[in-house]
A and B are shown apart, each in its own frame.
Chain A
Amino acid sequence: DQQVKQNSPSLSVQEGRISILNCDYTNSMFDYFLWYKKYPAEGPTFLISISSIKDKNEDGRFTVFLNKSAKHLSLHIVPSQPGDSAVYFCAASAAGGGADGLTFGKGTHLIIQP
Chain B
Amino acid sequence: GAVVSQHPSWVICKSGTSVKIECRSLDFQATTMFWYRQFPKQSLMLMATSNEGSKATYEQGVEKDKFLINHASLTLSTLTVTSAHPEDSSFYICSARGPGLARDEQFFGPGTRLTVL
Binding site for B on A (CB under 8 A): 2, 4, 9, 32, 34, 36, 41-46, 49, 89, 93, 98-107
Contacts and interface: CB of A to CB of B under 8 A. Distances in A.
Contacts of A106: 41-43
A104 B45 contact: yes
6 contacts: A43-B109, A49-B103, A49-B104, A98-B49, A100-B103, A105-B43
Given A32-B103, A49-B103, A101 B110 contact: no
A104 B103 contact: no
Nearest to A100: B103
A36 B51 CA distance: 23
Interface of B: 1, 4, 6, 9, 32, 34, 36, 41-46, 49, 51, 57, 59, 93, 95, 97, 103-111, 113
Contact of A102 (B46, B51, B57, B105): B46
Given A41-B110, A43-B95, A106-B41, A101 B104 contact: no
A46 B4 contact: no
B93 to A, nearest CB: 5
Contacts of B1: 45-46
Contacts of A89: 43-44
Contact of A99 (B32, B44, B107, B109): B32
Nearest to B47: A101
Given A89-B43, A99-B49, A106-B42, A42 B103 contact: no
A100 B34 CA distance: 9
B56 to A, nearest CB: 11
A46 B103 contact: no
Given A98-B49, A99-B51, A102-B46, 9 more contacts: A2-B43, A4-B43, A42-B110, A45-B1, A46-B105, A102-B106, A104-B43, A106-B42, A106-B43
